[in-house]
Structure 1
Amino acid sequence: MGWIARVVLGAVWWWGAVRLAVAPGAGVVEGAVVAGGWGLSLLPVHCVPRAGAVGAVAVGRWREAWRGVRGGDGG
């Protein structure tokens, strides 16, 4: 997405947020714009598959990784 589109979409989101905060007549449209923009921010757009992630921990090894155990030597 181009930077112009990002600026325009950001301005529309801010318009909705400000209207919800200060305008007594704000309603469904502004709420939908703000909720939609917030919801898009939750999308995991920077995720990669576990196999392709550098430093990814294998399934079932999170506990050893948390403790700092290396190579299954028991600690």
Structure 2
Amino acid sequence: MHRKNNKKWDKETWEKKKNMKMTGMRSATAAAKEQACHDEVEEMVVGLEEALLCKEEKQSQVFASEAIMRLS
């Protein structure tokens, strides 16, 4: 149920309250965007680390096979 507010707002108070609400909404939106960006960067870092590990593993396999070829 909605109760009617009997208090009469003057224009200045109304603008302050409206601006505070908008600022809160903006900061919440900015925080959400920042978190999404952080998550995206985290995913990219994990992906790069995995790619680097795969590359190192492949290189070590190549070095091992070259060493076996030399020993033979």
Q: TM-score under structure 1 normalisation?
A: 0.30
Q: Which has the higher contact order (CA 8 A, sep 6+)?
A: 1
Of Structure 1 and Structure 2, the greater helix share is in: 2
Q: TM-score under structure 2 normalisation?
A: 0.31
